[in-house]
Structure 1
Amino acid sequence: MERTPEQDAAQEILARLVRQCMAGDQHAWQQLVATQHRRIYAICYRFTGSSCDAEDLTQDVFLKLYKNLASFDTQKGSFQTWITTLARNLLVDHFRRTRLDRASDSLDASYDGDEDGPTMGDRLADTRPTQEHHVAGMELKVRIQEALKQLSPELREAVILRDLEDMDYKEIAEVLRIPEGTVKSRISRGRGELARLLQRIEGQVV
């Protein structure tokens, strides 16, 4: 996946902020937190499904970032990948401590496992004005959330990083510390499992 000129420019600005932070610039640190907070919170929320847990975990991520920023090598990789790895490791610890297996807020994983197919978000888009269709859309959303509750964390995290965070396979492989082939396999399995779970849930409803 090739980056656009705009993405390259954004990465350069971010890299400059990181260098300033590493030099002890507190204003740069505040800017860095401001630029990354929303993204990190979103990742934490999608994994936990809890705004309270997401707030706490986001604070933990930035605390760990502050303590470990000096260890980041600007020549070896992307800061976005590095901070995502920090967040992911804390989330794994969180799962182990609490044994949570709640739904992430991911509604954009492909319904049938096809990378180019319509996403769940597309299927939930209610473009029809009738109350009947609105109710049907809400019922489908509930079913998807129920299916997500049953998806394993390892499949869920791969789908979230790919479909919601728009990370490429190489970046996800670095974050999860697994081969790219395994990343693709988990994404495919996650999407396929969601489809099967939805079919089962819909069959029970009918």
Structure 2
Amino acid sequence: MDENQALALSVRRCVAGDTAAWEDIVRQTNRRIYNLCYRFSGSPDDAQDLTQEVFIKIYRTLGSFDSGKASFVTWVTTVTRNLLVDHFRKGKYDRMTDSLDAPMGDEEDGLALGSQIADKGQTPDERLESRETKELVHKALQKLSPELREAVILRDLQDMDYKEISQILKIPEGTVKSRINRGRTELARLLQRSNRQVGE
């Protein structure tokens, strides 16, 4: 049984009133939701609050999940993304691109990108350099436009395929690919500029 099948079974049990099934759902999706919220908000505290809001929303709308239309992971990501968009539109964050000074924090969940960058056998100097790289990537992500940022986050940090992203964002796959390519190009440009500034 793969992750989606296991989650779909947990959803059916939860809707039927099994509280242990809800705990399974939270445990299996918490990291993914937190990482999404963190990458969008730029703040560990805001990400924690937003994650709780997402779980409340998921719990209230769980009965509307239709496994025939999308996988549970896609549905959860869509719910999370919609809540984030609504949240930002309300003006709590006047401009998503301005939250650059938020500290990175020590939360491992918030630094999931590090698992792709870090090597477990690193020296202290290498670990420091790796952490600095993660901070640079995080800050550069915050500078991308919301459309490009969410496409890059869903593809490169959440490891979703083009079809899933197309469903979540409600745009054609061609537009998804275009946004990801533009986002990656812009991210690379921002990182190059940051590296030049560090080297000066």
Shorter-chain TM-score: what band?
0.7 to 0.9
List aligned pairs for 1:27-176, cutoff 5 A: 27-96=20-89, 97=91, 98-99=93-94, 100-101=96-97, 102=99, 122=117, 129=123, 131=125, 140-176=133-169
Identical counterparts, % of pairs: 54
**Counterpart-to-counterpart distance in 1, 2:129 and 2:168:** 37
State whether residues 33 and 77 of structure 2, in contact with CA within 8 Å, keep that contact through their aligned partners in structure 1. yes
Q: Following TM superposition, by how much is the alpha carbon of 1:203 offset from its aligned partner in structure 2, in angstroms?
A: 3.9
State whether residues 39 and 138 of structure 2, in contact with CA within 8 Å, keep that contact through their aligned partners in structure 1. no
Q: Following TM superposition, by how much is the alpha carbon of 1:141 offset from its aligned partner in structure 2, in angstroms?
A: 4.6
Tell me, which stretches of 5 or more residues in structure 1 are unaligned? 1-7, 109-118
State whether residues 107 and 144 of structure 1, in contact with CA within 8 Å, keep that contact through their aligned partners in structure 2. no
Q: SS where residue 76 of structure 1 aligns?
A: coil
Going from structure 1 to structure 2, the CA distance change for 1:24 and 1:169 (only over 3 Å counts) comes to same
The corresponding residue for 1:114 is none
Tell me, which stretches of 5 or more residues in structure 2 are unaligned? 105-109
In our comparison, the structure showing a higher alpha carbon Rg is: 1
TM-score of the pair, normalised by structure 2: 0.79
Q: SS where residue 2 of structure 2 aligns?
A: helix
How many positions carry a matched residue from both structures? 187
**Counterpart-to-counterpart distance in 1, 2:21 and 2:133:** 44
- Please tell me the root mean square deviation across aligned C-alpha atoms, in Å: 2.9
**Counterpart-to-counterpart distance in 2, 1:84 and 1:162:** 12
1:178 aligns with 2:171: yes
C-alpha distance after superposition, 1:75-96 (max 9, x if no partner): 2221110111000011112222
Going from structure 1 to structure 2, the CA distance change for 1:67 and 1:145 (only over 3 Å counts) comes to closer
TM-score of the pair, normalised by structure 1: 0.77
State whether residues 155 and 186 of structure 1, in contact with CA within 8 Å, keep that contact through their aligned partners in structure 2. yes
